[in-house]
Amino acid sequence: MSSENGQGGGGAAGEGAPPEQLALIRESVRQAKAPRAKPRTWRGAALAEELPVARVLVDKGVLHLDRYFDYAVPAELDADAQPGVRVRVRFGAGRGRVREGRREGGGLIDGFLIERLAASDYSGPLAALAQVVSPEPVLSQELLGLARAVADRYAGSLADVLQLAVPPRNARAEQRPSPAPLPPPGAPEAGSWARYERGGAFLDSLAAGGAPRAVWNALPGPEWSEALARAVAATLASGRGALVVVPDGRAAARVDAALTALLGEGRHALLTADAGPEKRYREWLAVRRGSVRAVVGTRAAMFAPVQDLGLVALWDDGDDSHSEQHAPQPHAREVLLLRAAQDKCGFLMGGWSCTVEGAQLVESGWARPLVAGREQVRRSAPLVRTVGDQDLARDEAARAARLPTLAWQTVREGLRHGPVLVQVPRRGYVPRMACAQCRAPARCRHCSGPLEARDGGAVGGSLWCGWCGREEGAWHCPECGSFRLRAQIVGARRTAEELGRAFPAVPVRTSGREQVLDTVPGTPALVVSTPGAEPVAEGGYAAALLLDGWAMLGRPDLRAGEDALRRWIAAAALVRPQGDGGTVVVVAEPTLRPVQALVRWDPVGHAVRELAERAELGFPPVSRMAAVSGTAEAVAAFLEAVELPREAEVLGPVPVPAGPAGRPRRAGAPPPGEQWERALIRVPPGRGAALAAALKAAQAARMARASRAPRGGEDVVRVRVDPPDIG
DNA sequence: AGCACGCCGACT
DNA sequence: GTCGGCGTGCTC
């Protein structure tokens, strides 16, 4: 069916007219209502002879607009208007004004050209493409397919995902040609992969063009980045590309260095947030154009358009920085899983610890475990000792000072041989308070927020609520009636001061969010750090002290145990092996499951047990959950309207506690002064896609209505698939 | 969001 | 008759 490319008639639209003016005269209302002999007519413009229709994704993240629109391709844009390019189109403005015989649409907005077609299935007349922004085809079929899958998985819009996947255009970066690609390197030696039972086989499979899938429990120590580099090199040797996603810039720099050491310059790109927009786009283009076949980067790199992908790899998937902050908040693990499935490429998910999701991938048979033997683990890991309540009770010194005797001894002994790491769970000087007797957290009597001591943690001073800011003058424990408080978590600086005074001859360094140290020398020093900011010590730490473990485990979160274990292991993995005197002391109850897993150095076993428990309780990731939040009326109306799959189960809604005052509001938290509710929706395994589809459909319907409502927005709900904080 | 279409009441 | 308020629906 070829469409009629009518020419002439619109003499006013001369060849010099801007393309958007080539849009058509709208048929009169009467004609539109009459049965249409010729379904559409383009007049006034010379259109492309072949495939005169462009299917366009309009770049507006609104759900009811999450579909394609067809535009006519003017002849002069024919050559550039190829699939994948950025375009600008007139959009909106109702049916358009008819002025001087030409229709003028609404404002110019951006979009992506999805495909060229011979005819449109739209029954009205088409507007013309206004502009091809640049001929660079930034949106490949693969990337489009991935973005579509991610949008579906997270009940989000394609436009939202594309905003995450395609960086903003930069003309200067685009003009510059990318370098010529280097030929594939030879296959690498096994290196540290030889320490794993199936490590060599995994590497061989990649080098031979295979697509092995593995969940890798990495041995403690610094070799992980080199191992990732070898997996990349093996994939490149097969003539394919590779992608590595890591949680932060420091980890990216390590893998970058390992890749440079193994392959030299020019074979890989580093995609991180701290490069400027031009450099970032230039690197991204080099990847898209096939000049560079390997990528390492932080979460935004999960969409990197690596050509002929042979391997996707993810390091430390339990780190919450793998969760994208922007809608629809996809997690790098899930994106790379979708990518591996779609591109039928290799998959490698590694870490010193193991998430429940990792255990699930192995248990389901989708991936194979890549682990070292117990003997190898024992040789690589430090000795782990615990200090529990019983020890503390017996320990007079511990009651006076904050540190138990074993901890003192370990630090003193460690400092004779090298640096000692002290991990404290929270930065800053402001401690949160708990009952000194029963350790129940001290909470605000008005809003249940955490009470904090503002004056440097002096017990007996005044208390303030961290959420609503009210002062608490006469606290007593609602659980046991005690009037005594203790600092639940003492900040890094205070601990550093205490330890510094105790070991005056030793330098104290701190690493935390405001200043992260990358490495420290192998000389004796106290290194006080918050989780995730631990510097790497040259030659490894002689010892590590993991403080306030019970506070870390006390969080009312599904992942509290897994998280605590992951953070402890991340610190302990920087300590020398037991054979070289490496010792770790954790102040936590030895009977608790994560503590036992640390002592035995068995994060996989821990994850497997957690997985079994989650399956039994119907928790994610075994079942899938979504959170719907908003005002009580909005949530109720949404739940009324949504057509959930049969098996779906609605939990709640329950009131959402007000977010901490003053601090920037997280998505899903109510705006100041508004009371929100949240419902959880749960579906059994295999019904996640149906749930997401139902949520998306209901949201689209409601958004369309909400935009019409007076003071629109009040009945809009927030939908989040895989909510991160399930108590 | 933004705009046009159309139905219905009020006014020249 | 015709003007215009606002409820509804569409945007190629």
CB A460 within 8 A of CB A484: no
Percent of chain A with pLDDT over 90: 61
- Residue A13 pLDDT level (bands cut at 50, 70, 90): very low
Question: What 3-state DSSP class applies to A75?
Answer: helix
The CA–C1' separation of A136 and C10, in angstroms, is 32
Q: What is the mean pLDDT of residues A511-522?
A: 91
Choice among A152-156, A372-376, A424-428 with the minimum mean pLDDT: A424-428
pLDDT averaged over every residue in chain A: 84
Closest nucleotide to A93 by C1' from CA: B3
Write down the residue that tokens 């039994």 correspond to.
A616
- In eight-state DSSP terms, residue A311 is E
Check residue A400 and give its pLDDT.
53
Strand partners, A511: A529
Query: Tell me: the pLDDT tens digits for A78-132?
Result: 999 999 999 999 987 544 444 434 445 567 889 999 999 999 988 888 899 999 9
pLDDT for A32 equals 34
A447 in a known ligand binding site: yes
Under the banding of pLDDT at 50, 70 and 90, the label for residue A204 is very high
Q: What is the pTM of this model?
A: 0.87
pLDDT of A297-347, one tens digit each?
999 999 999 999 999 999 999 999 999 999 999 999 999 999 999 999 999
DSSP assigned state of A181? P
A345 among annotated binding-site residues: no
Q: Are strands A108-117 and A53-58 parallel, antiparallel or unpaired?
A: antiparallel
Residue A132 approaches strand C within 7 Å at CB: no
Dist CA A64 CA A366 (whole Å): 35
Q: Is the pLDDT of residue A33 over 50?
A: no
CA–C1' nearest nucleotide, residue A707: B1
Residue A294 has a pLDDT of: 98
pLDDT of residue A670 exceeding 70, the answer is yes
CB A677 within 8 A of CB A635: yes
* A214 three-state secondary structure: strand
Q: Is the CB of A176 under 7 A from strand B?
A: no
Residue A384 φ/ψ, nearest 5 degrees: -115, 125
Q: Strand B closer than 7 Å to the CB of A106?
A: yes
Residues 617-656 of A with CB under 7 A from strand C: none
Tell me which long-range contacts A285-289 makes (C-beta under 8 A, separation of at least 24): A285/A136, A285/A173, A285/A174, A285/A178, A286/A178, A286/A179, A288/A138, A288/A140, A289/A178
Contact present, A422 and A526 (Cβ < 8 Å): yes
**Chain A residues 17-76, Cβ below 7 A from strand B:** 29, 64
Confirm whether any atom of chain B, the nucleic acid strand, is less than 7 Å from CB of A605.
no
A95 touches strand C (CB under 7 A): yes
How far is CA A19 from its chain centroid?
41
Residue A182 confidence class, pLDDT cut points 50, 70, 90 = very high
A208-265 pLDDT per residue, tens: 999 999 999 999 999 999 999 999 999 999 999 999 999 999 999 999 999 999 999 9
- Mapped onto helix, strand or coil, the DSSP state of residue A445 is coil
Helix (H, G, I), strand (E, B) or coil at A56: strand
- pLDDT value for A37: 29
CA of A709 to C1' of B12 (A): 34
Which positions of strand B lie within 7 Å of protein CB atoms? Answer: 1-6
Q: Is the pLDDT of residue A661 over 60?
A: no
Question: Measured in angstroms, what separates residue A29's CA from nucleotide C2's C1'?
Answer: 20
Q: Check whether A135 has a pLDDT greater than 90.
A: yes
Spatial contact of A155 and A331, defined as CB atoms under 8 Å apart: no
A713, pLDDT greater than 90: no
Q: Name the nucleotide with the smallest C1'–CA separation from A33.
A: B5
Does the C-beta of A708 come within 7 A of strand C? Answer: yes
What confidence tens digit (pLDDT) does each residue in A356-407 have?
999 999 999 999 999 999 999 999 999 999 987 677 677 766 655 556 788 8
Residue A397's pLDDT is 63
Question: Taking residues A139-143, what's their average pLDDT?
Answer: 97
A477 labeled binding residue: yes
Element (H, E) at A435: strand A433-435
Give me the pLDDT at residue A6, please: 30
What pLDDT shows up at residue A668?
Answer: 66
> What's the average model confidence in pLDDT over A198-202?
97
- Chain C: positions less than 7 Å from a protein CB are 7-12
pLDDT surpasses 60 at A499: yes
Residue A551 has a pLDDT of 65
Q: Which residue is nearest to nucleotide B2 (CA to C1')?
A: A93
Kindly indicate the confidence band of residue A487, based on its pLDDT and cuts at 50, 70 and 90.
low
Query: Is A465 annotated in some ligand binding site?
Result: yes
Share of chain A above pLDDT 70, in %: 80
Strand C close residues, chain A 484-503, CB < 7 angstroms: none
pLDDT-derived band at A518 (thresholds 50, 70, 90) equals very high
CA A48 – CA A632 distance, rounded (Å): 53
A711: CB within 7 A of chain B nucleic strand: no
- Those residues with Cβ within 8 angstroms of residue A247's Cβ, 6 or more apart along the chain or in another chain: A298, A299, A315, A316, A319, A321, A322
The nucleotide whose C1' lies nearest the CA of A65 is C11
pLDDT over 70 at A495, yes or no: no
The shares of helix, strand and coil residues in chain A, as percent rounded to the nearest 5, are 35, 20, 45
Q: Which pLDDT score, from 0 to 100, does residue A712 have?
A: 46
Kindly tell me if the per-residue pLDDT of A655 is higher than 80.
yes
Beta-strand relationship, A86-90 and A108-117: antiparallel
